Amino acid sequence: MMKDDIEKIVYTAEDLHKKVAELGAQITADYKDAKEPIFCVGILKGAVVFYTDLVRQINLPVQFDFMIASSYGSGTKTSGEVKILKDLDYDIEGKHLIVIEDIIDSGTTMHYLLRYFQHRHPKSVRLCSLLSKPSRRTADVHIDYCGFEVPDEFLVGYGLDYAEKYRNLPYIGILKPEVYTK
Ligand code: IMP
Ligand code: MG
């Protein structure tokens, strides 16, 4: 069973639900006077679980769009390179963008993406990340809406993967060390 690979649960499904509801309420309050739908950009695949929960906690019109960017191989260490594997479907000029990400680690991916978005002249850009590992940061990234600050440990579940596994765990946890040597 998948849960037998988990050493420790860091955030339960209930912790996550509570935090996502808080973030959604904060975003709803901040954008209540916006004249047009909030353009929510989810970064696939890691953010997809967080994204679908978060947008349902935003009590305002939102427009969906997704990007696939990759700075990682299938392992746990960043390569420092960012590739856009799927671009936005819509023109973001004049839109209020909220970029929704699972985790800001080194910041390489998001630093690159935020600059990429700015070049397309949105009306505003804010970043919402469920998790942040500040001790690992090498690129400067401002997180407008941050769920939890986490220590430098590799996390899985609720969208986060190790070698494309564990994304569908309903909680966030740490793997047993032997899983990495399998
Ligand atoms: P960054 O460019 O170093 O900030 O890396 C961001 C991406 O690395 C995230 O979107 C995740 O896909 C991945 N990542 C970073 N830390 C973890 C982790 O602890 N577990 C799973 N994926 C992670
Ligand atoms: Mg990711």
Q: What percent of the chain has pLDDT over 90?
A: 91
The predicted model gives 22-36 an average pLDDT of: 97
Tell me the C-alpha to C-alpha distance, in Å, between residue 181 and each of 75, 137, 176, 177.
12, 26, 10, 7
Q: What is the pLDDT of residue 162?
A: 97
Can you give the residue ranges of every domain in the chain? Answer: 14-152
Prediction pTM value: 0.94
Name, in order, each residue with C-beta under 8 angstroms of 84's C-beta and a sequence gap of 6 or more. 67, 68, 69, 116
The predicted model gives 126-147 an average pLDDT of: 96
Query: pLDDT class for 77, splitting at 50, 70, 90?
Result: low
Pairing type for strands 172-175 and 6-11 reads antiparallel
Residue 162 Cα: closest atom of ligand 1: 21
Checking if the pLDDT of 72 tops 70, the result is no
Please give the class, per CATH, of domain 14-152: alpha beta
Q: Three-state SS for 129? A: strand
CA of residue 46 to ligand 2 center, whole Å:
4
Residues recognised as catalytic: 105
CA of residue 81 to ligand 2 center, whole Å:
13
Checking if the pLDDT of 123 tops 90, the result is yes
